Amino acid sequence: MGMGINKIVNARQKLKRSLTPKKNGVVGATDSPKKGHFAVYVGQTLKRYVIPISTLDHPLFRELLHWAEEEFGFDNSEGGLKIPCNEDYFEGLICLISST
């Protein structure tokens, strides 16, 4: 059981370092995601995360998108996919998805 927790903690640390692209050490919302990835904007501050497209196939991510659509709708007038959940929750979900 302890090994599972260590795996999740390590995955979360890697995720924090790799989710958002950096250019010259500064996070930039204008950076294009690399091939096979897409950007989502999370929380009230619309923090930008770049995640693999394969994440869209995971049932947990689909459930998050379904909940967000039912609760808030999707307004793409400003561009980008916005998910109005807590950033910590989103990071935990992505860690869980990436560790399976």
Q: Which domain holds residue 28?
A: 2-98
16-73 pLDDT, tens per residue? Answer: 555 544 443 444 445 788 899 999 999 989 999 999 999 999 999 999 999 888 877 7
Number of independent structural domains in the chain: 1
CA-to-CA distance for 91 and 76, rounded, in angstroms?
22
* Parallel, antiparallel or unpaired: strands 37-42 and 81-83: parallel
CA-to-CA distance for 55 and 96, rounded, in angstroms?
11
What is the pLDDT confidence band of residue 1, given thresholds at 50, 70 and 90? Answer: very low
pLDDT at 11: 56
